[in-house]
Structures are given as structure tokens and as C-alpha cells.
Amino acid sequence: WTSAKQDNFERCIAWLTASGGLPFMWVDNPEWLAFLVEFVPAVKCPSQKTLACRLIPKAVEDL
């Protein structure tokens, strides 16, 4: 898992959250985190704070 893949993962999480109108807290859902551990163990899931304060604003800026 590279830093480029992590960056892309975070961009995708931001877009998925915004486009689906999902609450930011979904990224801290234990079922989601267990899914990541099982299927993408190297990924670091961003917190809802990171999503709200950095990732979503960056996605909007990149429009």
C-alpha cells in the first residue's frame, strides 16, 4: 500500500461521502472498519474529523 494509493483512497472516500450525502461519522462505523481490516488491511481509514476538516474541503477546492 503506497502513499499514492492512500491519497487516492482518501479522495474516493471524500467523493463517496459527498455524492451519497452520507454523514461524516460513517467512516468510524465499526462494521466499515472491520471490512477494511478484512479486505484492505494496509489502508488507514480517515476519521470523520479528517474527512470534515481536510478531505471534503480539498475535494471542493479541486472542482
Identify the helix (H) or strand (E) that includes residue 6: helix 3-20
Q: Encode pLDDT of 6-57 as tens digits.
A: 999 999 999 999 999 999 999 999 999 999 999 999 999 999 999 999 999 9
Residue 38: the pLDDT is: 98
Exposed, middle or buried, 46 (CB in 10 Å: 0-12/13-18/19+)?
buried
In the block, cell 471524500 appears at 14
Give yes or no for residue 62 having a pLDDT over 90: no
Contact, 32 vs 47, CB < 8 A? Answer: no
Residue 63: the pLDDT is: 81
d(CA 38, CA 55): 24
